[in-house]
């Protein structure tokens, strides 16, 4: 198991990296979970990144209520070598937010 997080971010701007697996070294099928906490209402985007880490292949906005935590079990994620997952802020967040990817 690996746990990825950039730690707590205060007042992040749109697109701030909150958590990233980086490039997965070998393709594998494993369970993944995303955790997001915020002191204010916030939106983040979970992104499935291509092997070049240049484009987002798929994305999903996750919304968190103030002073709440959202846990999203993703189930089995078949990632190809060098692909990855990341979470970025979706819009400006005026408060504190943290995201983690457990993979």
Can you give the pLDDT at residue 53? 66
How far is 27 from 41, CA to CA, in rounded Å? 35
pLDDT in tens, 35-91: 999 999 999 999 988 877 678 888 999 999 999 999 999 877 677 778 888 999 999
Can you give the pLDDT at residue 97? 98
DSSP string of 2-58? -EEE---EESPPTT-EEEE----SS-EEEEEEEEEEESS-EEEEEEEE-TTSSSEEE
Domain locations in the chain as residue ranges: 3-102
What are 74's two structure tokens? 């993703």
pLDDT at 27 over 70: no
Can you give the pLDDT at residue 15? 96
Domain 3-102 has CATH 2.60.120: yes
pLDDT at 18 over 90: yes
Can you give the pLDDT at residue 28? 66
């Amino acid at each position: 198991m690996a746990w990825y997080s950039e730690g707590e971010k205060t007042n992040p701007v749109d697109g701030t990296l909150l958590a990233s697996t980086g490039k997965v070294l070998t393709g594998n099928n494993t369970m993944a979970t995303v955790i997001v906490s915020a002191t204010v209402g916030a939106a983040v985007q979970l992104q499935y990144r291509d092997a070049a880490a240049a484009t987002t292949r798929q994305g999903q906005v996750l919304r968190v209520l103030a002073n709440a935590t959202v846990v999203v079990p993703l189930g089995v994620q078949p990632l190809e070598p060098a692909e990855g997952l990341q979470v970025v802020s979706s819009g400006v967040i005026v408060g504190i937010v943290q995201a983690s990817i457990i993979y």
